[in-house]
Amino acid sequence: MQRREFHRHVLSTGALALGASAALVPGWAQASIGGFKEGSDYIKLGRPVPADAPAGQVEVLEFFAYSCIHCFNFEPVFEDWKKKAPAGVVARRVPVAFSEAFVPMQRLYYTLEAMDQLDGLHQKVFRAIHVDKQRLMTESAITDWIVKQGVDKKKFSDLFNSFSVTGKARRAVQLQDAYQIEGTPALGVGGRFTVAGQGPRTVQVANALIAEIRKG
pLDDT tens-digit series, residues 140-164: 999 999 999 999 999 999 999 999 9
Looking only at the bridges linking them, the beta strands covering 43-44 and 193-196 are antiparallel
CATH number at residue 160: 3.40.30.10
Which amino acid, residue 73? N
Decide if pLDDT at 11 tops 60.
no
What are the DSSP E strand ranges found in the chain? 32-33, 36-37, 43-44, 58-64, 89-95, 186-189, 193-196
Helix, strand, or coil (residue 77): helix
Band (7; pLDDT cuts 50, 70, 90): very low
Band (96; pLDDT cuts 50, 70, 90): very high
Q: What number of CA atoms fall less than 13 Å from residue 159's CA on the CB side?
A: 20
Band (87; pLDDT cuts 50, 70, 90): confident
Which amino acid, residue 55? A
Backbone angles phi and psi of 20, in degrees to 5: -125, 85
pLDDT digits (tens, 9 = 90+) for 15-50: 343 343 333 344 444 689 999 999 999 999 999 999
Task: Write down the pLDDT at residue 106.
Answer: 98
The residue-averaged pLDDT of 99-105 equals 97
Q: pTM for the complete prediction? A: 0.87
Question: How many structural domains does the chain have?
Answer: 1
pLDDT digits (tens, 9 = 90+) for 156-215: 999 999 999 999 999 999 999 999 999 999 999 999 999 998 789 999 999 999 999 998
Which structural domain range is residue 173 located in?
3-214
